[in-house]
Amino acid sequence: MNPLPMAPMRQSVRMGGADPRGLAGHALLSTVGLVPQEPADLLYATTVGRECGDADAFVSGLTYDYPDVIRPALQIHHTFRNTARAAGVYIMIVEDRVYLFTDATVNIEPSAEDLYEIACLAADFAQRLEIEPRVAFLSFSNFGSVIHPLTQKVKKATEIVKLKAPELVVDGEMQSDTAVVSEILQKSFPFASLKESANILIFPDLNSGNICYKLLHKLGGAETVGPILMGMEKPIHVLQRGVEVRPSDPRRRHKCFVRDGAADYAW
């Protein structure tokens, strides 16, 4: 897979020999009420180029805010059929353990139904990475220890998953330490469906997810891979603004392949 350089819109923007401002590109851009004129419209033009088949995937965000990148992706590509929303996931590598944190990038205040769908997207993503999903819905309550609308939302999301996707190993609502320390689960909550520590952590809102992954990365030294956008119809991914490429520690080399449609991405 070779990267395709993107010229400013004041130049002729061509990807793989096709111009996203041609007839097909104009038709798609008109559906979102835009005909690109300025450099800021490059995000729309390049996203259209992916839709027209001029690129295998679209990755952006290094110099843009996340909403500015994901907006054209959702307007032009949309989500998978029968998928109501996209969600972002981070692969968090803590020593020799791998966790998936979601959603830490897209959905600000997901409902119980939204959390159910996010959990299913994450479980499917884990399986494609050959990780057996064990899902925990996080809260400040352990299995009803605190009755509050916020904890009840998470409890309801857990119940929806158990009803609609009974094949998944999932439980909640639970506190974060309960989710990742199997001894707490086994000693204090032997009735829990989870018998081992969870490897997919579903956060109740964007505040908690975004704060947690950044603190774990900056203070805890966890390696992060992502964000990876789940639920999209086409291979579209958004970088964290200002992200840097760090040299790998030869003592701790991790390679992660994300299989998204026909394209494979490697970090």
Segments making up each domain of the chain, as ranges: 1-78+232-246+255-261, 84-231
**DSSP structure string for 197-263:** --SEEE-SSHHHHHHHHHHHHHTT--EEEEEEEESBSS-EEEPPTT--PPPPPTTS----EEEETTE
pLDDT of residue 84: 72
CATH class of 84-231: alpha beta
- Secondary structure of residue 108 in the 3-state scheme: coil
> Low-confidence residues of the chain, pLDDT below 50?
1, 3-52, 249-267
CA 217 to chain centre: 17
List, as one string, the DSSP characters of 11-60. Answer: S---BTTB-TTSHHHHHHHHHTT----SGGGHHHHHHHHHHTTS-S-EEE
Give the three-class secondary structure for 135: strand
Q: Are the CB atoms for 52 and 28 separated by under 8 Å?
A: yes
Whole-number pLDDT of residue 59: 64
The strand pairing partners of 228, in sequence order, are 89
Write the secondary structure of 189-205 as one string of H (helix), E (strand) and C (coil): CCCCCCCCCCCEEECCC
Note whether 265 and 257 are within 8 A (CB): yes
Would you state the torsion angle of the CA atoms of residues 58, 30, 35, 241, taken in this order, to the nearest 10 degrees? Answer: -30
For residue 3, the SS3 value is coil
C-alpha span between 214 and 220 (Å, rounded): 9
CA 204 to chain centre: 14
User: What are the φ and ψ backbone dihedral angles of 134, each rounded to 5 degrees?
Assistant: -130, 110
Looking at residue 137, its pLDDT comes to 98
So what's the pLDDT on residue 105? 87
Nearest-angstrom CA–CA distance, 197 and 264:
29
